[in-house]
A and B are shown apart, each in its own frame.
Chain A
Amino acid sequence: MQSNLSVDLDEVAKILSETLGDNRVTKEHFNGLETAEMGDAGFHRYDVVRVRIETEDQVAEVLKAASAYQWRVLPVGAGSQLHATHLGAGVDILLDLTSLNQIIDYSPEDMVVSVQAGVTLTNLQELLSTHKQMLPLDPVCRPGATLGGLIATAANGPRRTGYGTFRDVVAGVRVVYPSGDIMNFGGRVMKNVAGYDMTKLFIGSFGTLAVIVEAHLKLKPLPLHRETVTMQGRREDLKILQKRLVHSSLLPTRLEAVSSRVFQNGILSRSQIHHPWLLAIDCDENASAAAYQTSQLRTWADEMGLSIDVFQGVSADDLWTHYQESLLGFDFVLRLNIAPTLLWQIVTPLEKILGEAEGEGVFSLGMTTGVGRLYGKGLSFKVQEELVQQARGLVSEYAGSVVIEKAEPWLQEKVDVFGSIGDFQPWLQRIKDAIDPQNILSPGRFVGGMKNA
């Protein structure tokens, strides 16, 4: 867990300046992602060389040099996803991709856009909305988050219920291999089975295989009418509601059980909150269909004695913006992957731990996806560790998994970010070795077995 002592950073900076120009290369103190030195004793910071990239050829140049000299490179966008895994080994070079931020090609008729890695999700959505289109993904992330970073971490949000995740929307990528070779996989067409689906490998690879410089994204029409219904009730009732929804023909694009508190102050007033949990049910269909869906939900609410609130158009947007913004404020995030019907079972013991601890914890549970998140704030290290262990113990019986999506580095040192990995682990390492034989890209930044690669 230390910086690479054998590398002389001044030398790195000098060599890179010669190829790329002085103005792109700076040596800086790297405190963006402190790494615990030993236990919780203190943070170890180190110097790195930051290279501001503007063209993919520059990426290739840096990687070629890094391969030749054995420098370790971490591609970064806005740095918004760096908390997602720790950096076991130090890095020498931060490959700053924020200026690689052109929209290469946008064809609204084909509903495909090609973007460079540094384009931010916010800017992209803004552009797309002028053509009544959108990238149908809504990960909880900072406004500056870049697509490269989001794809590399396979970030996702409630919309996965109706639209899937990056693996469903990325039609192709342009990547730079550690060798400096620039390659294209997939493309701009909707269907493509030529060769291996290499694109999938890079999504969620945390920058450990290649640097994504461009991605081709499939788009969806911007829903013209948005309608979100929230329903509050006892947990037992919400469970029944969950089942009713799954067996109905209703078409929720987001279907989350959320701690009601998330919507307090801003969306629901204190007097509007009657229960600790609510279901937020979204409809992106046209107005008539949404009205029907809402009326069906009302009928159920009446039958079951649930309280219901309806948000339309801008107020539905506000609700989800509020969801994003308030969850962004949490500094500890656990992702649970398990059968949707079992989510409640896992959550109950975690709530118990939270109830006895200082600090705050809220949940958002995908009622059909089986992806649940615990967002924590002000929790002690001990409680965080306990939550992780407890959750892992609980899901292990059901072949589920628990991933730490966000935490202080010290926790990531103590507890494995990804938990136990399956019997396929040797192949992950072999893929890494085949693509990045010198281990120059994001060293130590991935599932357990690759830490000391």
Chain B
Amino acid sequence: MENQSGTNVLVEPTNPRDMRGKVKLSKAELVNSLVNIVGVHRVIHEPDYLRVYECDGYVARNGLPSAVVFPETTQEVAEIVRLLAKHQVPFLPRGAGTGLSGGATPLNGEVILNFARMNKLISVDLDNLRAVVQPGYINLTLSKEIDKDGFFYAPDPSSQSSSTIGGNVAENSGGAHCLKYGVTTNHVVAATVVLPTGEIAHIGTPFGDAVGYDLMGLFVGAEGTLGIVTEITVRIMKKPEAVKTVQAMYDSIAQASDTVSDIIRAGILPAAIEFMDKLAIQAVEKSSYHVGYPEDIEAILIIEVDGLTAGLEETTDKILDICRRHEVRTVKMATNANERALWWGNRKMAFGAMGQISPDYLVQDGSVPRTRLTEALARIQAMSRDAGLRIANVFHAGDGNLHPLILYDSANPEETERAIQTASKILKVCADLGGTITGEHGVGLEKLEEMRYVFNKTELEAQLALRKVFDPQNLCNAGKLIPLP
């Protein structure tokens, strides 16, 4: 799997005709040319330092980049990309590297454009509900910045304290509160992009509907394969006047997941409905984010509603009622902001807490229609038994987005393989239940083969044809997202 030599493994061999007149750069020449653009302090090329960038949050595969470069402006990005395109050097953009599917992992000896230095908030326009940020700007920083005025940026991936908005755009990231507020694509309205040819384009529109095809919509979720986003205009929102958080503990997984469907069926649109099963609870309880949940609980729901104070009690009463109808063991509301923060901290740290109970874990991200949740969970449990691997579940139940965490030990190659196989089987089940293989973590390298569960050959070809429109030389994060048919 390792590819430290930096040779091409995924880029298709280029047509030799295209190479005419193009000079292959030596590594030294490449580094020199990059230094010429950004200066010596913004290029990393020594292997020891490059190792930091050999993968993202998906650690199963890795490779060494040729160099890492830190641009500061759109112009610099364009200059770098033009250089790389001219010499047919593969490249990829990288935000915080928290991606969970290998999107920022260099398998072709790419030059990595790292956005750590393009991390500014460019402007905020509260009256018009817009903010403009650089791609390396951290998601949570935006909400913190505008909090004093009572505004927030809605998409809230659990990684929001470290992931970048550029990375969020590329992955179309979701989060707990996306049930009510929508995912990244619903909040990104315009962007400056550097296309894989080095040309600069301004896509989308800050207000209303862009003229022409919805390129902004296409770029969100493109995993950095269509171009590099260098400036992003997002919609910001007024914070809800009041928030109420309900915690419900169940002795049965089925009762908990049926509660979810019933809440939605009742015409209630909570801001979030999060689900944790026993194993997940046990793990977080061992971490520093423990709440004090009883050990024998089968499932917990965290249900949050927000809006005008005046209407909320009516809504929470209905929710409490529905929980009780589903044999909830205990159900209660957060009494203050600290308690709410504790519950959420516990939930958002769940992935990391797996380290408390297992040397390694693989997180999957399939999504199913809400009404199939109970069935999906039952089948995951059965697969866990069959594979002899523990699987914890902690996920966005309100929108049917599962996150099975498969626990394994990477020191054991056979077990590792079994974990990977089980993950793939789970995705097949999601697809078979009318769902899909990824709700928010992206395809990256990890789910390339599983793409075939949801797309046929023609549909994959259609997507590759589109990619070619933007990246004719197949240089920009090549080999990710769409498998070759």
A residues at B contact (CB < 8 Å): 107-112, 132, 154, 156, 164-165, 167-168, 177, 181, 183-185, 187-201, 203-205, 209, 220-222, 224, 243, 246-251, 285-293, 335-341, 368-371, 399-401, 403, 418-419, 421-425, 427-428, 430-431, 434-435, 446-447
Q: By the criterion CB–CB under 8 Å, are B458 and A181 in contact? A: yes
Are A109 and B220 in contact, with the CB atoms below 8 A?
no
Q: Which B residues are CB-close (under 8 A) to A339?
A: 125, 128, 130, 206-207
A442 to B263, CA, bound (A): 44
Cα of A338 to Cα of B183 in the assembled complex, Å: 24
| In contact, B212 and A447 (Cβ under 8 angstroms) | yes
- With A109-B265, A191-B174 given, can you name 6 additional A-B contacts, CB distance below 8 Å? A168-B186, A191-B367, A196-B218, A205-B213, A339-B206, A401-B211
Shortest B87–chain A CB gap in Å is 23
Query: Which of A111, A154, A371 has the most B CB atoms < 10 Å from its CB?
Result: A111
User: Considering the chains assembled together, what is the distance between the CA atoms of A190 and B395 in angstroms?
Assistant: 14
| Residue of chain A at shortest CB distance from B192 | A423
Q: Mark B418-443, 1 if CB is under 8 A from A, else 0.
A: 00000000000000001111111111
- Of B369, B371, B438, chain A has the most CB atoms within 10 Å of the CB of B369
**22 cross-chain CB contacts under 8 A:** A110-B370, A132-B267, A183-B462, A187-B434, A193-B438, A194-B451, A195-B443, A195-B455, A197-B220, A200-B214, A249-B240, A291-B310, A292-B310, A339-B206, A340-B127, A370-B207, A399-B206, A401-B208, A403-B209, A427-B215, A428-B215, A431-B469
Provide the residues of chain A in CB contact with B195, threshold 8 Å: 427
Q: Which residue of B lies closest to A423 (CB)?
A: B201
Chain B residues near A246 (CB, 8 Å)? 126-127, 129, 238
Which residues does chain B contribute within 8 Å of A423, judged by CB atoms?
A: 200-202
- What is the bound-complex CA distance between A189 and B437, given in angstroms? 11
Contacts of A221 in B (CB 8 A): 267-269
Tell me if B462 and A371 are in contact (CB < 8 A): no
Kindly report which residue of chain B lies nearest to residue A221, judged by CB atoms. B267
Cβ 8 A contact of A194, one of B202, B211, B455: B455
Q: Give residues of chain B (164-213) contacting chain A, Cβ–Cβ below 8 Å.
A: 171-172, 174, 178-179, 182-183, 185-186, 195, 200-203, 205-209, 211-213
Interface pair A337/B205, CB less than 8 Å apart: yes
Using known A-B contacts A201-B217, A221-B269, determine if residue A189 contacts B459 with beta carbons closer than 8 Å: no
B370 neighbours in A (Cβ, 8 Å): 109-111, 190
The smallest C-beta distance from B267 to any residue of chain A, in angstroms, reads: 4
Residue of A nearest to B430 (CB): A189
On chain A, the residues within 8 Å of B149 by CB distance are 247
Contact of B218 with A154 in the complex, beta carbons under 8 Å: no
Q: Please report the C-alpha to C-alpha distance between residue A110 and residue B265 in the assembled complex, in whole angstroms.
A: 8
Q: How far is the CA of A183 from the CA of B462 in the complex (A)?
A: 9
Determine whether the beta carbon of A224 is less than 8 Å from that of B201: no
Q: Are A285 and B307 in contact (CB under 8 A)?
A: yes
Distance between Cα atoms of A435 and B464 in the complex (Å): 11
A104 to chain B, nearest CB (A): 13
B95 CB, nearest partner CB in chain A, Å: 16
Tell yes or no: B401 within 8 A of A by CB: yes
| A428, B213: Cβ atoms closer than 8 Å | yes
A197 to B440, alpha carbons, bound, how many Å?
12
On chain B, the residues within 8 Å of A427 by CB distance are 195, 201, 215, 469-470
**B window 449-480: CB within 8 A of A:** 451, 454-456, 458-460, 462-463, 465-470
Question: For B386, what are the chain A residues with a Cβ–Cβ distance below 8 Å?
Answer: none
> Are A289 and B310 within 8 A (Cβ)?
yes
* C-alpha spacing A446/B214, complex, angstroms: 13
B1 within 8 A of partner (CB): no
Which B residues touch A289, using CB under 8 A?
A: 307-308, 310-312
Among A156, A190, A430, point to the contact of B399 (Cβ < 8 A): A190
Across the interface, do B126 and A370 meet the contact criterion of CB distance under 8 Å?
Answer: no
List chain B residues, Cβ under 8 A from A184: 455, 459
Question: Are B459 and A371 in touch, CB under 8 angstroms?
Answer: no
B463 cross-chain contacts in A, Cβ below 8 A: 195-196, 198
Within 8 A of A (CB), among B211-257: 211-215, 217-218, 220-222, 226, 238-241
A191 to B309, CA, bound (A): 29
**Are B214 and A107 closer than 8 Å at their CB atoms?**
no
| Complex Cα–Cα for A158 and B241 (A) | 23
A193–B173 alpha-carbon span in the complex (Å): 9
**In whole Å, how far is B149's beta carbon from the nearest beta carbon of chain A?**
8
A204 touching B209 in the complex, CB below 8 Å, given contacts A193-B221, A431-B466: yes
CB distance from B303 to the nearest CB of A (A): 16
B481 within 8 Å of A (CB atoms): yes
- Contact: B203 with A191, CB < 8 Å? no
Chain A residue contacts of B369, Cβ below 8 A: 107, 110, 112, 188-189
Q: Does B264 contact A (CB under 8 A)?
A: yes
Q: Distance in Å from the Cβ of B196 to the closest Cβ of chain A?
A: 11
Assess whether B205 is in contact with A193, with CB atoms less than 8 Å apart.
no
Point out the residue from A185, A189, A369 that lies within 8 Å of B368, measured CB to CB.
A189
Minimal beta-carbon separation of A356 from chain B (angstroms)? 28
Chain A residue contacts of B315, Cβ below 8 A: 286
Interface contact B265-A370, CB-CB below 8 Å: no
Report, nearest first, the 4 A-B pairs whose CB atoms are least far apart. Answer: A337-B208, A289-B311, A200-B217, A370-B207
- Give the distance to chain A from B374, nearest Cβ to Cβ, in Å: 12
Q: B404 → chain A, closest Cβ, in Å?
A: 15
Residues of A within 8 A of B371 (CB): 107, 109-110
Complexed CA–CA distance, A247 and B125 (Å): 12
Inter-subunit contact B454/A194 (CB<8 Å): yes
Inter-subunit contact A193/B442 (CB<8 Å): yes
Cβ of B414 under 8 Å from chain A? no
Which B290-348 residues sit within 8 Å CB-CB of chain A? 307-315
- The distance from the CB of A373 to the nearest CB of chain B, in whole angstroms, is 10
| Chain A minimum-CB-distance residue to B427 | A194
Q: Which of A191, A338, A421 contacts B439 (CB 8 A)?
A: A191
Given A249-B238, A423-B201, A447-B212, the answer on whether A191 and B399 have CB atoms closer than 8 Å is: yes
Task: Establish whether residues A189 and B238, one from each chain, have CB atoms under 8 Å apart when the complex forms.
Answer: no
Contact, CB under 8 Å: B238 / A247? yes
- Could you give, for residues 28-62 of chain B, a 1 whenever the CB lies within 8 Å of some chain A CB and a 0 otherwise? 00000000000000000000000000000000000
Bound form: Cα–Cα A82–B298 in Å: 56
Q: Complex Cα distance A195/B461, Å?
A: 11
Q: Are A424 and B212 in contact (CB under 8 A)?
A: yes
Q: Which of A110, A199, A203, A249 contacts B239 (CB 8 A)?
A: A249
B78 within 8 A of A: no
From residue B157, how far is it (CB to closest CB) to chain A in Å?
12
Chain A residues with CB under 8 Å of B443's CB are: 193-195
Cβ of B482 under 8 Å from chain A: yes
Contact of A285 with B200 in the complex, beta carbons under 8 Å = no
Judge whether B400 is part of the interface by a CB distance below 8 angstroms: yes
CB contacts (< 8 Å) of B440 on chain A: these are 191, 193
| Known A184-B459, A431-B469; contact A204-B127, beta-carbon cutoff 8 A | no
Asked if A189 contacts B367 (CB within 8 A), the reply is: yes
Whether the Cβ atoms of B127 and A243 lie closer than 8 Å is yes
A293 touches B308 (CB 8 A): yes
Q: Which residues of B contact A201 (CB under 8 A)?
A: 213-214, 217-218, 466
